[in-house]
């Protein structure tokens, strides 16, 4: 049975959907593995790198990489930041390790870096800021402020036609202030997360520029993904489908998750943005977009034409 965003985001379970899921996600992140890497090992410089004859300095070899970090990192920025550390001793090399090791993704442009703690976004802002701006379609974390709104009563038209929408869900994430993020947390911090969740005595990482702070810059702001599995046998094969999704600020992928391509007539459709719009705005955007896709499919079933909608503005004027 297809569920609705109205049911998921309203009533007494709202806090469960928007907070506890995040806490559970956070807890699972902290509980992965028990190995704590020695500080000296964690702060090593990571090969492969450009030969000194090319850059004149030690620098990761990113010539074949396609991620936001690789596009933003320059020898100058690397030189400015390579010897800096956060108060928890997290380094630039640790931030970019994932992007150095993983050149790209077959279906999406990845971010290519992570934060080890809340302070990473300030200490390494010279690199994080352009990466955030690239990933979030121009959102400037130095000059813009992120809105937050968890009032689910504002959501409208969230009951989908179940002949097309097979399932729906909303997930988010939260990070506990004062503790390291998963790439840098210790075993004792993982245990502390367990205790804090049981006691419900914590404060989330948040500021008015980045919203809720999470490990990956792609999830800054709301950390929210509202998605549906939707059957679109005609529209999904229409050459205008991608442009329609782009203009509605939606993204599609396979029903098996982020690493899968779309197959058959069922696709996973969700919000493209996380930052710059509130939780309510993002869920409403998905609701309206999904209803538009359903309307297009119905029109195509009748042999009628469809229109590509005007682009939706990502940020508030």
pLDDT for the residue 194: 85
Name which residue leads in pLDDT, 5 or 281: 281
Q: How many CB atoms lie within 10 A of CB 117?
A: 24
Name which residue leads in pLDDT, 120 or 199: 120
Query: The domain 146-172+222-307: what is its CATH number?
Result: 3.30.590.10
Helices (H) and strands (E) in the chain, counts: 13, 6
Query: Cα separation of 278 and 271, whole Å?
Result: 12
Question: Residues annotated as binding site?
Answer: 225-229, 253-258
Q: For 207, phi and psi rounded to 5 degrees? A: -150, 165
Query: Cα separation of 117 and 141, whole Å?
Result: 17
Does 259 have pLDDT greater than 80?
A: no
Q: In this predicted model, what pLDDT tens digit does every residue of 303-315 receive, in sequence order?
A: 999 999 999 887 6
Given 3-state DSSP classes, what are the helix, strand and coil percentages for the chain, each rounded to the nearest 5?
40, 10, 50
- Residue range 154-158: average pLDDT? 93
Mean pLDDT, the chain, integer: 83
Q: In this predicted model, what pLDDT tens digit does every residue of 134-151 receive, in sequence order?
A: 999 899 999 999 999 999
Strand partners, 316: none
pLDDT for the residue 93: 94
pLDDT for the residue 175: 94
- Residue range 260-272: average pLDDT? 82
Nearest to 171 by CA among 130, 227, 210: 227
Q: Name the pLDDT band for 52 (thresholds 50, 70, 90).
A: low
Does 22 have pLDDT greater than 50?
A: no
Of 52-61, 73-82, 120-129, 156-165, where does mean pLDDT reach its minimum?
A: 52-61
Which pair of tokens denotes residue 259?
A: 């690493």
Question: In this structure, are residues 81 and 127 in contact, taking their beta carbons and an 8 Å threshold?
Answer: yes
Which pair of tokens denotes residue 207?
A: 């500021």
pLDDT for the residue 5: 55
Which pair of tokens denotes residue 303?
A: 């042999």
- In the three-class reduction of DSSP (H, G, I as helix; E, B as strand; rest coil), residue 212 is classed as strand
Superfamily of segment(s) 62-144+179-221: ATP:guanido phosphotransferase, N-terminal domain (1.10.135.10)
Of 19-28, 51-60, 239-248, 268-277, where does mean pLDDT reach its minimum?
A: 19-28
Does 11 have pLDDT greater than 60?
A: no
pLDDT for the residue 229: 96
Q: In this predicted model, what pLDDT tens digit does every residue of 165-214 receive, in sequence order?
A: 999 999 999 999 999 999 998 899 889 888 888 877 789 999 999 999 99
Q: Name the pLDDT band for 54 (thresholds 50, 70, 90).
A: very low
pLDDT for the residue 51: 52
Question: Residues annotated as binding site for ATP?
Answer: 225-229, 253-258
CA atoms within 13 A on the CB side of 100: 16
Query: Cα separation of 82 and 54, whole Å?
Result: 18
- List, as one string, the DSSP characters of 2-33: ---HHHHHSGGGHHIIIIIHHHHHHHHHHTS-
User: Which strand (E) or helix (H) includes residue 207?
Assistant: strand 206-207
CA atoms within 13 A on the CB side of 71: 15
Query: Cα separation of 315 and 138, whole Å?
Result: 9
Residue ranges per domain, the chain? Answer: 62-144+179-221, 146-172+222-307
User: Which strand (E) or helix (H) includes residue 230?
Assistant: strand 225-231
Which pair of tokens denotes residue 128?
A: 């994080």
Question: In this structure, are residues 178 and 203 in contact, taking their beta carbons and an 8 Å threshold?
Answer: yes
Q: In this predicted model, what pLDDT tens digit does every residue of 65-74 receive, in sequence order?
A: 999 999 999 9
Does 254 have pLDDT greater than 60?
A: yes
- In the three-class reduction of DSSP (H, G, I as helix; E, B as strand; rest coil), residue 150 is classed as coil
pLDDT for the residue 193: 87
């Amino acid at each position: 049975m297809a569920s609705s965003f109205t049911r998921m985001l309203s009533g007494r379970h709202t806090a469960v959907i928007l907070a506890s899921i995040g806490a559970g996600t956070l807890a699972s992140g902290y509980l992965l593995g028990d190995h704590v890497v020695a500080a000296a090992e964690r702060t090593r410089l990571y090969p492969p790198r450009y030969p000194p004859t090319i850059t004149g300095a030690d620098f990761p070899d990113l010539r074949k990489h396609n991620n936001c970090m690789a596009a933003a990192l320059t020898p100058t920025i690397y030189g400015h930041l390579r010897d800096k550390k956060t108060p928890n001793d997290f380094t630039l090399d640790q931030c970019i390790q994932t992007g150095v090791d993983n050149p790209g993704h077959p279906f999406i442009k990845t971010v290519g870096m992570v934060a080890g703690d809340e302070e990473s976004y300030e200490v390494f802002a010279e690199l994080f800021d352009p990466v955030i701006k690239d990933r979030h379609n121009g959102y400037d974390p130095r000059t813009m402020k992120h809105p937050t709104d968890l009032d689910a009563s504002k959501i409208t038209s969230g009951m989908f036609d179940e002949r097309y929408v097979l399932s729906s869900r909303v997930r988010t994430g939260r990070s506990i202030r004062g503790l390291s993020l998963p790439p840098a947390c210790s075993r004792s911090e993982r245990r502390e997360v367990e205790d804090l969740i049981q006691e419900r005595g914590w404060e989330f990482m948040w500021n008015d520029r980045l919203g809720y702070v999470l490990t990956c810059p792609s999830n800054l702001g709301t950390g929210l993904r509202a998605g549906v599995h939707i059957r679109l046998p005609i529209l999904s094969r229409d050459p205008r489908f991608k442009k329609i999704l782009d203009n509605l600020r939606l993204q599609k992928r396979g029903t098996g998750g982020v690493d899968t391509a779309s197959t058959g007539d069922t696709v996973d459709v969700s919000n493209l943005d996380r930052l710059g719009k509130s939780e309510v705005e993002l869920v409403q955007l998905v609701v309206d977009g999904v209803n538009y896709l359903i309307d297009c499919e119905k029109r195509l079933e009748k042999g009628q034409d469809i229109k590509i909608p005007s682009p939706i503005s990502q940020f508030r004027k």
